[in-house]
Structure 1
Amino acid sequence: MSDRDTVCEALPALLPRLRRMARALAGNAADADDLVQLALERALARADQWRPDGRVDAWVFGILRNAWRDELRARARKQAVFVAEEAGLSVGEAGVERHVEALSVAEAMARLPPEQREAVALVLVEGMRYAEAAHVLGVPEGTVTSRLSRARAALRDWLGQE
């Protein structure tokens, strides 16, 4: 089996995790879907760059993260957004109380600096080990630990939890 085949086989199973990470980074479903699509396109186009000694998920999460950073830089230049958040969200079947709580958490996550939000998304949402997250983020494991500690403290303060 070629490296390209390995990458192609792994991508469908990664979709839910990629979407969660993209949602944590982007803050809304429309931008998250665009981000996942872009990351998948890049992964497929560059499948020959994946190293068999590495994990496909970590490699694709790195692509997703870099694509988001590219988007942030482009937005800063253009001063534009994909879609207004209100245009893409629907309440769904959740009760009002759960919806308000979810919005509060989403708003608190959006207030975190990007570095902390990435660490939270990878470790707390995706369940990656600190070492794996550090590899994806390209930082030492202690930096991930520090970012998570600061993010947890900020989220507790903003969400009024003890």
Structure 2
Amino acid sequence: MTDQLMDILPGLRRFAWSLTQSVHDADDLLQATVERLLKKGVPEGVEVARWAYTVCRNLWIDEYRSRRVRKSVDVDTDLADAGQIDGENDVQAQMELKQVMQIMQQLPEEQRLTLTMVTVQGMSYLDVAEALEIPVGTVMSRLARARSKLVELVNA
């Protein structure tokens, strides 16, 4: 399992970032996910990657709920992973990324999560459905609603 876990870490880290919108929180979430997987293992007959995404999502939901009780969640625009700013194109790209992040934050959580898993992670509808424990049709309708809302928000 350790080798399989090492193979999916980059994608799992991107997924954690897409949930948290913060480099630091994503690293913490990734660490908690890996710890949970190593401690409790993966159920028999379940693919490691799917289980890892499910565990990561569930840990984030727990954290998100506890944060919401304490205070509102702010978007961290720390783009430390983007590297040094090197010219006008990098500045423009960072500004566009910030705008996309702000627009994405306006989507309902389930739509943002589904959209991220499909578009950022490149997961199939079936994989998303299994990871989120929802029907494939629900994945498709969430994506359609998320895309429509994004178009509406961008054009506003």
Shorter-normalised TM range:
0.7 to 0.9
User: Which one is further off, 104-113 or 151-160?
Assistant: 151-160
Secondary structure, in 3 states, of the residue corresponding to 1:127? Answer: coil
| 1:80 to partner: Cα distance | 6.8
Normalising by structure 2, we get a TM-score of 0.87
- Counterparts of 1:151-162 in structure 2 under 5 Å? 151-160=146-155
Secondary structure, in 3 states, of the residue corresponding to 1:50? Answer: coil
Q: Select which of 64, 69, 84 maps to 1:77.
A: 69
Q: Select which of 16, 23, 36 maps to 2:10.
A: 16
User: What is the total number of aligned residue pairs between the two structures?
Assistant: 151
- Deviation above 6 Å: which 4+ runs of structure 1? none
2:124 matched to 1:129?
yes
Contact 2:15 2:121 in 1 (8 A): yes
Normalising by structure 1, we get a TM-score of 0.84
Unaligned runs of 5+ in 2: none
Structure 1: how far apart are the matches of 2:75 and 2:97? Answer: 18
Identity %: 36
Structure 2: how far apart are the matches of 1:80 and 1:141? Answer: 31
Q: Which residue of 2 aligns with 1:63?
A: 55
Contact 2:21 2:75 in 1 (8 A): no
Contact 1:39 1:64 in 2 (8 A): yes
Structure 2: how far apart are the matches of 1:100 and 1:41? Answer: 35
2:20 matched to 1:29?
no
Q: Which residue of 1 aligns with 2:133?
A: 138
Q: Which residue of 1 aligns with 2:101?
A: 106
Structure 1: how far apart are the matches of 2:107 and 2:75? Answer: 20
Q: Select which of 28, 46, 50 maps to 2:43.
A: 50
